[in-house]
Structures are given as C-alpha cells and as structure tokens.
Amino acid sequence: MKYCSKKVTVLLFSLLVSANTMAADSFKVCWSIYVGWMPWAYGAQEGIVEKWGDKYGIDIDVVQINDYVESINQYTTGQFDACTMTNMDALTIPAAGGVDSTALIVGDFSNGNDAIILKDKISLADIEGQIVNLVELSVSHYLLARGLDTVGLKEADVNVVNTSDADMVSVYGTDDITAVVTWNPLVSEILAQPNSNKVFDSSQIPGEIIDLLVINTDTLNANPNLGKALVGAWYEIMELMSGSDKVAIDTRTFMAEASETDLAGYDAQLASTEMFYTPEAALSLTNSEKLIATMQNVAEFSFEHGLLGDGAPDAGVIGIETPAGVFGDPSYIKLRFDPTYMEMAKNGQL
C-alpha cells in the first residue's frame, strides 16, 4: 500500500482550498485495488454509494485509480475529497504536505496481507546483501524495517529499489529480481510463482498497518452529510459482504473479480486482513491507547527517512489526534482519527 517520495508544497495548491472548504453538493472519492478497499468498487457499481448520497442530497463520484501512490497525490493536491490509504501514508503525504486530513473510516488492519517475499530462500536473514524491490518510503518499506529488526539486520544491509505497485508482479518475474515487499493481491500473485517464499508478514506486527478512508478535514467540517453518506454506505456494504449466505458470497465474488482473482483467492486475502465489519470493531481500535503508540512508531520511522518535511526537528513535528490523546505538536494537528461518524453508525443515527 503505499509510498511517499514526492513532496507536496502546500502553497502551490492554496488556490484549491476554497473549493475544498465550501459547502457543496458534489464530491469525488478515489480508491485503488486492495482487499480492504474493494467494497468501494461494489458500493459504486451496485448503487449503494449513490443511494446514501441521495439520502443526504449530495452526489458522490467514486473513482478507481490504478496507481496507489498517484491516488494519494491527487487527493493531496485537491483533485479528490477523500481517498483510501494507510495510516502511514496519510501522515507522510497529505499531512506532511500540510493538508489537514481525517481518518473517517478505520476499515481494517493488515494481518498478513503485506509481506516480504524471497526467491529461492526460506529465511528472512537470507535477505542480507540482496536488492529489494518495493514501493519506497511506504508501509512496505516500514514492514521491511520492522522485519530486519527481528533478525538483527539494518536497512544498510540491503539495497532498496523503488518499484511501482503496478509493475511489481512483472518485475518479480525476471530472473535477476530475488526479493520484494508488497501487499495483496500482489502477494498472492507472486507467491504463485515457482520458488517464492513468504519470510515475514504484517501478522507479525498486528495493528500497525491500518487501512483507512481519509477525507479532507475542512471539506468534512463544511459538509457533514458527506461523512454520513460515506460511513452509511460503508457499513451497509460491510453487512452485505460478511457471513456465508448467498448475498455475502455474491458480494465477495464481485469484489474478487474486480480485483482479478476468484472468490477463494479473495477470501484468502480476507483471512489475512482484520476487517472491521461493524463500527464497534472499528471503534475498538480507533479509541485505543495502542493507536497512539502505533502512530508514534510510524512517525519515528517517517522522521528517520525524511518523510515529515524538510527541516523537521523531530518525529512529533506533525500533530496526530486520536480519541485517546495527541502524539506530536498539538498546535499543528494535520492528521485526525475522528470516531464521530462511526459512532453515529454504531448508534443508528445515520
């Protein structure tokens, strides 16, 4: 999921602010292919998002972007009002770029969907000295760093090569590429190739790679009905896809095909994803003290890799607000985990 070598200078896009902050009746949401974000494909195709938009008198255009990084960059520059992304990328791209952003929906955390894969080797320690292809400065990079720690290695012990998620499978298929870090469905495709071995995955750092729907905070504050519609649509889809009845199977089959796999393959990806099918489940993580600790770890990694802006003095330069407290500068909050709308869903207020 995920990347951030491109820095966005907020002043270049200041003229877009008025469009984002004024009350409006038409909005754009972007997403990219990942097991936890396929519900948006279903919600758009089956008219669920449209239905919830109609309920609140607004129009919501849901757009797939093939390149994950590009989707976040387009959100950051104001081309979209909301976008699917991870907790780390929300911090290092829009928040670091000065765009005040809110995690509207905490959808899941990766519990094995992100992985380090080696060709012809079975131990993570064997990665030493290898070229490692990944989306640089992303959660894949974060996973690599966390994995290396477990075997007494450092990033200096490998050679990281930035590779687009759109190219990862084809790149791995070449003879000279022997190590990659990526996410599903790419993980499943790569592991299907001969002599491919998963040597570390996100289940070994549970709850640290969190998948979100992030929305421009000013847009949300000016248009609370957008938040209500998106959250309402999301939990309707969650209810439809969970379980084992025909409706659930048909729903997940659609998502599987939209992500170019089959039902068995998609269900296998779901098995390595801690999906929050109910607002109660999402709120359990959102309201927890652990979220602050996780975001501190992410901020420290991001600071060490220069992702929090030129001249950032420390990992707390950007304030990250959660229900349990703030990590970082409370006078410069640019990333917010706001449970308000998930609480509304929990309480039947949508």
Tokens representing 259 are 């992500």
Q: Where are the alpha helices (DSSP H) in the chain?
A: 17-21, 38-45, 48-55, 68-76, 87-90, 139-150, 168-172, 186-191, 217-222, 224-241, 246-258, 263-271, 279-286, 289-304, 340-346
User: Which CATH number is 166's domain given?
Assistant: 3.40.190.10
Letter for the amino acid at 109? F
- In this prediction, residue 22 carries a pLDDT of 57
- In this prediction, residue 15 carries a pLDDT of 38
Residues 192 and 216 in one domain: no
- In this prediction, residue 166 carries a pLDDT of 87
Residue 54 lies in a domain: yes
pTM of the entire predicted model: 0.86
Residue 5 lies in a domain: no
Residues 304 and 183 in one domain: no
List, for residues 83-107, the tens digit of each pLDDT value.
999 999 999 999 999 999 999 999 9
Residues 184 and 219 in one domain: no
Residue 164 lies in a domain: yes
List, for residues 191-201, the tens digit of each pLDDT value.
999 999 999 99
List, for residues 294-306, the tens digit of each pLDDT value.
999 999 999 999 9
Residues 120 and 103 in one domain: no
List, for residues 208-244, the tens digit of each pLDDT value.
999 999 999 999 999 999 999 999 999 999 999 998 9
Residues 121 and 165 in one domain: yes
Residue 64 lies in a domain: yes
Whether the bond between 330 and the residue before it is cis, its omega within 30 degrees of 0, is no
DSSP letter for each residue of 261-279: S-HHHHHHHHHTEEE--SH
Contact 85, 214 (CB under 8 A): yes
Residues 124 and 263 in one domain: no
Residue 197 lies in a domain: yes
Contact 318, 91 (CB under 8 A): yes
Residues 184 and 313 in one domain: no
Residues 21 and 73 in one domain: yes
Residues 194 and 330 in one domain: no
Give the count of beta carbons closer than 10 Å to the beta carbon of residue 191: 13
Give the end of a domain, one of 178, 204, 230.
204
Cα(291)–Cα(105) distance, integer angstroms: 14
pLDDT means per 10 residues, the chain with 350 residues, are 39 42 83 96 98 98 94 97 97 96 97 95 97 92 95 96 93 95 92 96 94 98 98 98 96 96 94 96 97 96 90 96 98 98 98
User: Which residue segment(s) compose the domain that 74 sits in?
Assistant: 10-109+210-346
Residues 23 and 104 in one domain: yes
The backbone region for 58, taken as left when phi is positive above 0, alpha when psi lies in -120 to 50, beta otherwise, is: beta
